[in-house]
């Protein structure tokens, strides 16, 4: 490690941030030196995002100090933070579709002449310069809505380069990038580091953290657990710091004898979304789908659930060819889908816990013309206990629950349908470690009870942990199917990057 100036680029001291009823940050310290990549780790809900929002001026801390290059500062708002040299690159895209790349990059600070006219030549020249630095093969005038998600991510990153940044925070920047794009991004990060910028790098991907970062800090439950020099630690130690115990991301070793084929898919295609997909799922078996965002996994699930019309191929349930006309049809045939986005697709946030949970079967829970209150509450109680859902009452609006409890409501909703084929898309996104383990256990239990389960996940340990077989997808195609014995992390990573086994060999 090279020595830089004595004063760190950024120091956070004793940051406390409380929300009504929650102490999100409890005296967090963090020190980022100029010219280092400092990884920030922690499970979801550990407070990383809150900390970064405090840093970027989106939240004001209740206590504690932010010291930038030795000077105590206050970040009144995001603009203020940016002006002082602290830039946050959001995990979720925050671009405006209708505007050009340049306008998005300089959003809120468009260069202008004294009459308020946008100075287009300056704007485009500056933006093109930044895009060139990022090796982007699109120009400043391109409309953002015409770009792919990955390219939009690059636009997001380009924003950081508009100011003379002292500290740049990357929040899960690689979530939707291809490997080639990742390489470019890492070059950019290294370039920033060489120019003496302090970088905070938030990611769940250990490989990235270990290859990129100089030091790392860990948060757990809103409090600071310590900082390590990356080269002097290992994954195991970091994991223990994050979750307070060792977690063995073992492969699934249960050997349940799979039963008959419950679901078979032959040559299924849907336009450009996915092509010629074939696989089968047996009763008592968990099949994991692994791949990058946009690889077509979710779209397959949606097709099986009747939400998309396949352009080719057949679906067989229990050996019988079926045409699934819509979700209602899918449900009546015993297919359940726990969707990818719980807030947008899974829940009606303004409705009570119970009402959400019984929604798909509300038509069957009637006595006479009326919905039977008792039957509904019975179902809610059963799955609340089974999934350990923490909610003050069934009357509580789902929007007021924590992410993990919300996800459990969605899972409960579909378990209550007693499906033959259960599809879970990103089942543990945004869920704390404890609940994660429970849900994994639950998935295994369901399989052992004879359900056919499909798990779609972007987390390799999860896929490896719960699946009997893993299907790797790349760009709408199935690249390879692994049995539980033959899968390795390396081969899986290769597969989802589009490298077929024959060529890899």
Partner 1 sequence: MATLKQNAALRWLTENPIWGFVVLIFVFFSLSNEFFFDMNNFQNILVQTSTIGLIALGMTLVMINGNIDLSVGAVVALAASLMVDIQSWDAFSGWGNWQMLPALIAALGVGTALGALNGIIVWKTGVDAFIVTLGAMLGVRGLVFVYTKEQSFFAMNFTFSDLGMSTVGPVPSLAVLFLIATVLVHILLSRTVHGRNTYAVGGNREAAVNAGIRVGPHMVVNFMIVGFMAALAGVTLSSQMGAATPNLGRDYELWVITAVVLGGTKLTGGAGSIIGTFGGVLAIGILRNGMNLMQVPAFYVLVILGSILIAVLILDKQLTRKGVEALKT
Partner 2 sequence: MASARLKGIGSLLARQGILIAFALFLLGFAAFSDSFSDADNLMQVVRQSAIIGVIAIGVTVVVISGNLDLSVGSMLSFATVMVVDLHDKIGPVPAIAVMLVAVLVLGCINGFLVGVLKLNSLIVTLGMLSAIQGLTLIYSGGQNVDIADQEATWFSLIGRGSFLGIALPIWIFGTLAIFMHVVMSTTAFGRRVYAVGGNPTASVFSGIRRTHVVFAAYMISALCVGIAALILGSRVGGSQNNVGQGYELQVLAGVILGGTSLLGGSGTILKTVIGVLILGFIQNGLLLLGFAYYVQWLVTWVVIILAVWLDIAAKRGRLLSPIA
The single-letter DSSP state of residue 323 is: -
* Distance of alpha carbon 68 from alpha carbon 305, whole angstroms: 52
Q: Specify the stretch interacting with partner 2 by CB under 8 A; choose among 41-49, 197-205, 324-332, 388-396.
A: 324-332
* Distance of alpha carbon 247 from alpha carbon 217, whole angstroms: 19
CB of 328 to partner 2, least distance (A): 5
Alpha carbon distances (Å) from 416 to 283, 308, 374, 375, 376: 18, 24, 15, 12, 11
Of 130 and 492, nearer to partner 1 (C-beta) is: 130
Choosing among partner 2, partner 1, none, which partner's interface includes residue 99 (Cβ < 5 to 8 Å by kind)? partner 1
Of 325-384, binders to partner 2 (CB under 8 A) are 326-328, 330-331, 337, 339, 344-351, 355, 359-360, 362-363, 365-366, 369-371
CB of 396 to partner 2, least distance (A): 15
What is the spatial order of strands in the sheet that 63-68 belongs to?
22-32, 10-19, 63-68, 71-73
Report angle CA 430, 174, 161 to the nearest 5 degrees.
120
Q: Specify the stretch interacting with partner 1 by CB under 8 A; choose among 4-12, 109-117, 365-373, 418-426.
A: 109-117
Choosing among partner 1, partner 2, none, which partner's interface includes residue 233 (Cβ < 5 to 8 Å by kind)? none
Of 57-76, binders to partner 1 (CB under 8 A) are 58
* Distance of alpha carbon 415 from alpha carbon 411, whole angstroms: 6
- The site string for partner 1 over 117-136 (x = CB under 8 A, - otherwise) reads xx-x----------------
Which of residues 136, 212, 218, 273 is near partner 1 by CB under 8 A? 273
Of 7 and 420, nearer to partner 2 (C-beta) is: 420
Choosing among partner 1, partner 2, none, which partner's interface includes residue 392 (Cβ < 5 to 8 Å by kind)? none
Which of residues 214, 302, 425, 438 is near partner 1 by CB under 8 A? 302
Question: Who contacts 475 (Cβ-Cβ below 8 Å, separation ≥6)?
Answer: 294, 295, 296, 498
Burial class (CB in 10 A: 0-12, 13-18, 19+), 216: buried
CB of 360 to partner 2, least distance (A): 5
**How many CB atoms are located within 10 Å of the residue 36 CB?**
24
Which bin fits 366, alpha (ψ -120 to 50), beta or left (φ > 0)? Answer: beta
Alpha carbon distances (Å) from 342 to 38, 119, 263, 286, 426: 31, 42, 25, 22, 10
CB of 325 to partner 2, least distance (A): 10
Which of residues 98, 259, 319, 501 is near partner 1 by CB under 8 A? 98
Of 107 and 365, nearer to partner 2 (C-beta) is: 365
Tokens found for residue 133: 């630095």
**Residue length of the chain:** 505
Which of residues 107, 349, 365, 375 is near partner 1 by CB under 8 A? 107
| Closest to 158 (Cα-Cα) out of 97, 75, 204, 94 | 94
Choosing among partner 2, partner 1, none, which partner's interface includes residue 110 (Cβ < 5 to 8 Å by kind)? partner 1
Choosing among partner 2, partner 1, none, which partner's interface includes residue 58 (Cβ < 5 to 8 Å by kind)? partner 1
Choosing among partner 1, partner 2, none, which partner's interface includes residue 348 (Cβ < 5 to 8 Å by kind)? partner 2
Choosing among partner 2, partner 1, none, which partner's interface includes residue 118 (Cβ < 5 to 8 Å by kind)? partner 1
| Closest to 297 (Cα-Cα) out of 330, 340, 349 | 340
CB of 113 to partner 1, least distance (A): 10
CB of 109 to partner 1, least distance (A): 7
CB of 20 to partner 2, least distance (A): 8
Which bin fits 15, alpha (ψ -120 to 50), beta or left (φ > 0)? Answer: beta
| Closest to 280 (Cα-Cα) out of 236, 331, 316 | 316
Angle between helices 403-415 and 433-448 (to 10 degrees): 10
User: Which residues lie across from 18 on neighbouring strands?
Assistant: 23
Of 328 and 504, nearer to partner 2 (C-beta) is: 328
Of 58 and 184, nearer to partner 2 (C-beta) is: 58
437 binds partner 2 (CB under 8 A): no
* Phi, psi of 270, deg, nearest 5: -145, 95
Question: Who contacts 433 (Cβ-Cβ below 8 Å, separation ≥6)?
Answer: 43, 243, 247
Of 7 and 18, nearer to partner 2 (C-beta) is: 18
* Phi, psi of 255, deg, nearest 5: -115, 80
Which of residues 5, 60, 94, 448 is near partner 1 by CB under 8 A? 94
- The site string for partner 2 over 52-91 (x = CB under 8 A, - otherwise) reads -------------------------x--------------
Distance of CA 429 to the CA centre of its chain: 6
Of 218 and 423, nearer to partner 2 (C-beta) is: 423
Q: Specify the stretch interacting with partner 1 by CB under 8 A; choose among 78-86, 227-235, 408-416, 433-441.
A: 78-86
Catalog residues that contact partner 1 under the rule CB under 8 A.
58, 77-80, 82, 90, 94-99, 103, 107-110, 112, 115-118, 120, 270-273, 302, 306-309, 311, 326
**Where does this chain bind partner 2 (CB under 8 A)?**
77, 305, 307, 326-328, 330-331, 337, 339, 344-351, 355, 359-360, 362-363, 365-366, 369-371, 413
């Amino acid at each position: 490690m090279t020595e830089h100036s004595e004063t760190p680029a950024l120091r956070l001291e004793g940051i406390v941030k409380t929300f009504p009823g929650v102490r999100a940050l409890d005296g967090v310290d963090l020190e980022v030196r100029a010219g280092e990549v400092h990884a920030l780790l922690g499970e979801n809900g550990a407070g990383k995002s809150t900390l970064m929002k405090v840093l970027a001026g989106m939240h004001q801390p209740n206590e504690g100090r932010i010291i930038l290059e030795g000077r105590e500062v206050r970040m009144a708002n995001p603009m203020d933070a940016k002006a002082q040299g602290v830039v946050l690159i959001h995990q979720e895209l925050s671009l405006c579709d209708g505007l050009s790349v340049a306008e998005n990059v300089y959003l809120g600070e468009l260069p202008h002449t004294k009459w308020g006219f946008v100075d287009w030549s300056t704007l485009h020249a500056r933006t093109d310069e930044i895009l060139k630095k990022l090796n982007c093969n699109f120009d400043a005038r391109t409309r953002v809505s015409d770009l792919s998600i990955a390219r939009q991510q690059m636009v997001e990153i380009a924003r950081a380069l508009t100011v003379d940044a002292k500290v740049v925070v990357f929040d899960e920047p690689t979530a939707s990038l291809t490997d080639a794009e990742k390489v470019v991004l890492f070059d950019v990060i290294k370039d920033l580091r060489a120019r003496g910028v302090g970088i905070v790098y938030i990611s769940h991907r250990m490989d990235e953290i270990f290859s990129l970062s100089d030091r790392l800090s860990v948060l757990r439950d809103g409090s600071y657990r310590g900082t390590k020099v990356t080269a002097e630690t290992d994954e195991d130690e970091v994991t223990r710091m994050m979750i307070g115990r060792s977690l063995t991301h073992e492969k699934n070793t249960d050997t349940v004898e799979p039963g008959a084929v419950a679901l078979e898919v032959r040559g299924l295609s849907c336009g450009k979304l996915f092509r010629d997909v074939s696989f089968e799922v047996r009763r008592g078996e968990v099949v994991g789908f692994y791949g990058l965002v946009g690889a077509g996994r979710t779209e397959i699930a949606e097709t099986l659930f009747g939400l998309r019309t396949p352009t080719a191929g057949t679906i067989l349930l229990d050996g019988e060819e079926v045409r699934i006309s819509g979700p209602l049809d899918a449900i009546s045939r015993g297919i359940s889908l726990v969707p990818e986005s719980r807030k947008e697709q899974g829940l009606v946030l303004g409705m009570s816990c119970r009402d959400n949970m019984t929604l798909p079967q509300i038509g069957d829970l009637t006595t006479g013309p009326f919905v039977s209150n008792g039957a509904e509450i019975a179902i809610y109680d059963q799955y609340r206990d089974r999934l350990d859902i923490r909610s003050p009452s069934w009357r509580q609006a789902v929007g007021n629950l924590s992410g993990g409890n919300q996800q459990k409501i969605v899972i409960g909703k579909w378990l209550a349908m007693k499906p033959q084929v259960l599809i879970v898309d990103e089942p543990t996104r945004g869920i704390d470690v404890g609940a994660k383990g429970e849900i994994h256990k639950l998935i295994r239990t369901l399989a052992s009870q004879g359900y056919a389960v499909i798990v779609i996940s972007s987390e390799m340990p999860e896929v490896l942990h719960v699946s009997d077989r893993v299907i790797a997808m790349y760009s709408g195609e199935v690249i390879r199917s692994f049995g539980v014995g033959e899968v390795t992390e390396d081969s899986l990573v290769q597969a989802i990057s589009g490298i077929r086994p024959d060529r890899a060999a």
